[in-house]
Amino acid sequence: MIPSITDSHIEDLEAKTGLIFDQERRQAIKEFVDIQACPGSGKTTLIAAKLILLAKSWKQSTSGICVLSHTNVAKNEIISRLERDESGRKLLSYPHFIGTIQEFVNRFLALPYCRSKGISVKRIDDDFCCKHIEANLAWGTRKALETKQNVNISDLQFRYVNHEFEKTVPWFNKAPPSASYTNLCSIKDKMFKEGLFFFREMFELAKAYFDINPSVIEAIRSRFPLVLVDEMQDTSLAQDEIINNIFSYGGGALQRLGDADQAIFSGDEKETSNSYNDLQLKVINTSHRFNPSVAALASRLSTNKVPLTSTQLINNAQPHTIYIVDELNRPRVFSAFAQLCANNLPLSEKHPIKAVGGIGKTKPEGLTVKHYFPNFEKSNSSKNFKPAKLIEYFRETQKITTCNADSYKIVLEGIRRLLDIAGYEYISISQLKGMLKEFSNHNEINQKIIGIQRSDLNGSHGWENNIKDLLTVLGLLDSYDVLTDFISYAAPRPVADDEFVSANIYAEEVNGRDIYIEVDTIHSVKGETHAATLMLETKFYEYDVHQMLDYIIGTKKTKPTGVRKPKFMKQLYVAMTRPKHLIGIAIDESRFPEAKRALAIANGWNVVDLTVAN
């Protein structure tokens, strides 16, 4: 039933794509076994290759392949690779499924449960739920919450326990006769009735579905006899349980891929463990991404002591540099790193240079990316462009003068948000593009979009007429009420025209070479390949680089213990394994004593003191 993949299939693919799959990777392609593989080892590439080979000989018309990932970024990466191949494209429609674990649970379990019980689902959105709760708190509850530390309003959720839904109410372990408790409970009950849910609650609705319809597991197994899971290291306990519950059985083919050393999922502490990260598998440790000198330094931060190696045979050691800064001189690190990059990166190198830190949010008393780069705004990163109003998408397109495809993509993002708020399932941009092409009034839709892009977006009257027309041609006018907030007019923000594009970028010309350093958080650059990466020390209760310094300079090798150190290690490992060529690190002078500087130099680092005037 499941097509087998042979060496000769793999060799044909190698010839077609120029990729090389060694014995370890070939085995991972031919068999359905869990794989742990280091950064840049080609997990995503391997999954796409395997899927293309499977698609070539997939015969069943009512059962298909299920591909699950943790993030939309990873899902879209797989989709875009399949789109480029004729056989791969077959996997983008029924009976196959490619999506995040969350989408899978919503679509095949939680939403069918709600339909069977007549529960309406209007919106699944953590931010929206938190704002809704905030807005509905009684005065007394708000005051009481303000006095409590570590109380998270996002914990006001349902759990399915012993065949019924129970509320978890933040800071109340048992039901007391208190007005605040009653207020929180009534807000939550109303949210359930109104169809407002947290993402995590979909897993509880799924549990309820298993309860009332135990045969659903068999049905899903027969629909998807073959399952591949990417980014397995970041799955939460709830996600892990559901994958095991449905797909871990004799006779099914389940393959999970990931890298336990890169597990930087930032969720609820109690929910982070999973059955995959504790497996003691032989890790594929050869990376196609970085050179041997990066491999040697990054290995020191591998929690599981994976000795990283590079597929590049020549060890062209680079001047990986630790920059010593102080409060006054922190921003100087960008210029110093720009010079290092200009002098050492090959001119042909097209990958971006990035500066990343663990903490991006403004925290005046802490140390964040903003302390190095005051213009940093997380929401301004092009990847994070997620404005509160649809009109901002159209305004954004007006800033693009050169490429129609880019501005069309921005409009599609806006339409995708419309569909999301109107309660439709998540679809990728390319799926949406394909869908719109199928519409009989496709031309009319395009003309309307172009008309709005060319219109004056500075007046509410014109915008309101335009938006009604757009909803009409899209067939979404019935959802007007749910969409009101998102489609309403908002005056332009008083910011520079190029804010979104340039706010997070440091630019400098060095000896006639333009160097751009994009500033971001470590979480945002997972899965990326950079030309060079600069790590900025930040503080979350403790200073991350400082806490990891002995590992970085190679004087400590034991597994870190405690609450924060293991997390810091994984975060810094993700950062240090992004670059192909060069690593930079910024640390404050007070946390880098003289004796350690000498050890760092002896163990492969350049040390540059930016606190000394030159």
Ligand X SMILES: Nc1ncnc2c1ncn2[C@@H]1O[C@H](COP(=O)(O)OP(=O)(O)OP(=O)(O)O)[C@@H](O)[C@H]1O
Q: Which residues define the annotated binding site for ATP?
A: 37-44
Q: Of the two residues 50 and 289, which places its CB atom closer to ligand X in the complex?
A: 289
CA angle 327–328–330, rounded 5-degree value: 70
Q: Of the two residues 223 and 288, which places its CB atom closer to ligand X in the complex?
A: 288
Report the distance separating Cα 91 and Cα 51, nearest Å. 8
Q: Of the two residues 91 and 452, which places its CB atom closer to ligand X in the complex?
A: 91
Q: Of the two residues 27 and 343, which places its CB atom closer to ligand X in the complex?
A: 27
Select the residue interacting with ligand X from 103, 234, 259, 588 (CB under 6 A).
259
The verdict on 529 binding ligand X (CB under 6 A) reads yes
Quote the tokens at residue 365. Answer: 């008393």
Beta strand extents in 44-101 (DSSP E only): 65-69, 97-100
The verdict on 527 binding ligand X (CB under 6 A) reads yes
The verdict on 141 binding ligand X (CB under 6 A) reads no
The verdict on 288 binding ligand X (CB under 6 A) reads yes
The verdict on 573 binding ligand X (CB under 6 A) reads no
Give pairs for 480-483: CB < 8 Å, separation 24+: 482/122, 482/123, 482/421, 482/422, 482/423, 483/418, 483/421, 483/422
Select the residue interacting with ligand X from 10, 13, 28, 39 (CB under 6 A).
39
The verdict on 352 binding ligand X (CB under 6 A) reads no
- For the bound state, the minimum distance from the C-beta of residue 530 to ligand X, rounded and expressed in Å, comes to 11
Residue at shortest CB range from ligand X: 42
CA torsion 184-187-191-196 (nearest 10°) is -60
- For the bound state, the minimum distance from the C-beta of residue 42 to ligand X, rounded and expressed in Å, comes to 3
Quote the tokens at residue 406. Answer: 């880019």
Please, which residues have CB within 8 angstroms of residue 65's CB and are 6 or more apart in sequence? 51, 54, 55, 58, 91, 96, 97, 224, 226, 227, 228
Quote the tokens at residue 184. Answer: 């929180």
The verdict on 234 binding ligand X (CB under 6 A) reads no
Select the residue interacting with ligand X from 70, 96, 289, 354 (CB under 6 A).
289
Q: Of the two residues 40 and 360, which places its CB atom closer to ligand X in the complex?
A: 40
Q: Of the two residues 85 and 259, which places its CB atom closer to ligand X in the complex?
A: 259
Span interacting with ligand X, options 14-22, 236-244, 360-368, 434-442, rule CB under 6 A: 14-22
- For the bound state, the minimum distance from the C-beta of residue 44 to ligand X, rounded and expressed in Å, comes to 4
For 582, half-sphere exposure in the C-beta direction (CA atoms, 13 angstrom radius) is 26
The verdict on 42 binding ligand X (CB under 6 A) reads yes
**Cβ distance 195 to 121 under 8 Å?**
yes
Residue 153 CB burial class (10 angstroms; 0-12, 13-18, ≥19): middle
The verdict on 45 binding ligand X (CB under 6 A) reads yes
CA angle 299–259–504, rounded 5-degree value: 80
One character per residue 17-36, x = contact with ligand X (rule: CB under 6 A): --xxx---------------
Residue whose token pair is 């941009």: 429
Report the distance separating Cα 517 and Cα 102, nearest Å. 33
Q: Of the two residues 37 and 457, which places its CB atom closer to ligand X in the complex?
A: 37
The verdict on 537 binding ligand X (CB under 6 A) reads no
Contacts with ligand X by CB under 6 A: the residue count is 16
DSSP state of 492: P
DSSP state of 491: P
The verdict on 323 binding ligand X (CB under 6 A) reads no
Report the distance separating Cα 169 and Cα 18, nearest Å. 55
Select the residue interacting with ligand X from 26, 44, 60, 122 (CB under 6 A).
44
Q: Of the two residues 200 and 289, which places its CB atom closer to ligand X in the complex?
A: 289
Span interacting with ligand X, options 13-21, 164-172, 178-186, 416-424, rule CB under 6 A: 13-21
Question: What is the binding site for ligand X (CB under 6 A)?
Answer: 19-21, 37, 39-45, 259, 288-289, 527, 529
